Amino acid sequence: MYKPSKKEAQDMLQQMMEIRQFEDKIMDLLSKNIAEGGSHLYAGMEAIAVGVISSLNHDDYITSTHRGHGHAIAKDGDLNALMAEILGKKTGVCKGKGGSLHLADLNKGNLGANGIVGGGLGIATGAALALKMQKSSRIVVCFFGDGALNNGITHECMNMASLWKLPVIFLCENNLYAMSVCINRACSVKDLRKRADAYDMPSEIVDGMDVIAVKEAAIRWIDYVRKGNGPCFVVCNAYRYYGHSRSDPRVYRTKEEEKSYRDRDPIINFAQRCIKEGWLTEKEVREIEATVAKAIEEATDFAIKSPLPEPEELYTDLYV
């Protein structure tokens, strides 16, 4: 059983709180029309990104999804630059050209969010191929949603990665819905591990609302993949608290179901556990929360005050 050190507990809690408060802030900015366009929020799923990415080395890689703010923050993301990017500002991590759906920070091993469901699987497979050719011990974690399980590229990549024993973890974030479509109306198998069986990959289903459970599984699978055993498939079950995007009235799910997940909130539960196990004191938990709140306010302020890109930027960065 994995037990975090004080520092690890502190870091994990802080990152989960950063993600939650960041997403709540984006929702606020969207409702005030300060942020424009869409944003798919990660609230409720924090334990997955934090549990997995905190178990990686800093020079390992990830590919992310349309719901990518959490992955970006957990992968050493700079809150200011991420917030600015979502507002399309010059100071954003992609100079304001990508936006929420395209957050990426290649220097930090984040190969990017994606506007295309399943868009990250090819990239992850190719990055893993490159690492294998380099005889590197680094690995790739490929995040994708339950919805991506049914697109062709997913199957092609899983087969190829397994065939060539590539160092990639296919990490499915199962939050029960792809937009309005519940997984049992979209996926032909109930037990998702059968999908991995089809490609002769080992697999596991993890409680993605419990950061310790995620972390424990992540450590094991990262070790397995790093040792050159080939890919694996890990499903983390969780829930997204907000609608799919801003305008979603959520008619496809019940208030009771929403509450049942909120009652198992990954952050509240982990904070309580830290106190109970003596990993952190109550005071320390409150201090972390306050530090995060301040950082989010600063990031928001930074993003709002940042200028838009210069008009000439329209034509830069297309070709080298």
Ligand X SMILES: Cc1ncc(C[n+]2csc(CCOP(=O)(O)OP(=O)(O)O)c2C)c(N)n1
Nearer of residues 94 and 169 to Mg ion, judged by Cβ: 169
Query: To the nearest whole angstrom, how small is the minimum distance from the Cβ of residue 186 to other proteins?
Result: 4
Residue 233 interacts with ligand X (CB under 6 A): yes or no: no
Q: Out of 176, 179, 213, 275, point to the residue binding other proteins (CB under 8 A).
A: 179
- In order, the DSSP letters of the chain are -----HHHHHHHHHHHHHHHHHHHHHHHHHHTTSS-S-----TT-HHHHHHHHTTS-TT-EEE--SS-HHHHHHTT--HHHHHHHHTT-TTSTTTTSS-GGG--BGGGTB----SSTTHHHHHHHHHHHHHHHTT----EEEEEEGGGGGSHHHHHHHHHHHHTT-SEEEEEEE-SEETTEEGGGT-S-SSTHHHHHTTT--EEEEETT-HHHHHHHHHHHHHHHHTT---EEEEEE---SS-SSTT---TTS-HHHHHHHHTT-HHHHHHHHHHHHTSS-HHHHHHHHHHHHHHHHHHHHHHHHSPPPPGGGGGTTS--
Residue 112 interacts with other proteins (CB under 8 A): yes or no: no
Nearer of residues 278 and 311 to other proteins, judged by Cβ: 311
Residue 186 interacts with ligand X (CB under 6 A): yes or no: no
Nearer of residues 148 and 236 to other proteins, judged by Cβ: 148
Q: Out of 38, 287, 289, 295, point to the residue binding other proteins (CB under 8 A).
A: 38
Q: Out of 32, 133, 134, 311, point to the residue binding other proteins (CB under 8 A).
A: 311
Nearest to 203 by CA among 174, 176, 181: 174
Residue 151 interacts with other proteins (CB under 8 A): yes or no: yes
Residue 122 interacts with other proteins (CB under 8 A): yes or no: no
Query: To the nearest whole angstrom, how small is the minimum distance from the Cβ of residue 147 to ligand X?
Result: 3
Q: Out of 13, 14, 47, 67, point to the residue binding ligand X (CB under 6 A).
A: 67
Chain positions 100 to 139 lying near ligand X, rule: CB under 6 A, are 115-117
Nearer of residues 179 and 275 to other proteins, judged by Cβ: 179
Residue 275 interacts with ligand X (CB under 6 A): yes or no: no
Residue 68 interacts with Mg ion (CB under 5 A): yes or no: no
Q: Out of 177, 199, 242, 302, point to the residue binding ligand X (CB under 6 A).
A: 177
Nearest to 131 by CA among 205, 267, 225: 225
Among the candidate windows 49-57, 176-184, 225-233, 277-285, which touches other proteins by CB under 8 A?
176-184
Phi/psi-derived region of residue 168, left when phi > 0, alpha when psi is between -120 and 50, beta in every other case: beta
Query: To the nearest whole angstrom, how small is the minimum distance from the Cβ of residue 244 to other proteins?
Result: 9
Structure tokens at 102: 């395209």
In the complex, which residues of this chain contact Mg ion (CB under 5 A)?
Answer: 145-146, 175, 178
In the complex, which residues of this chain contact other proteins (CB under 8 A)?
Answer: 36-38, 85, 88-90, 94, 96-102, 114-119, 147-148, 150-153, 178-181, 185-187, 248, 251-252, 308-309, 311, 313-315, 318
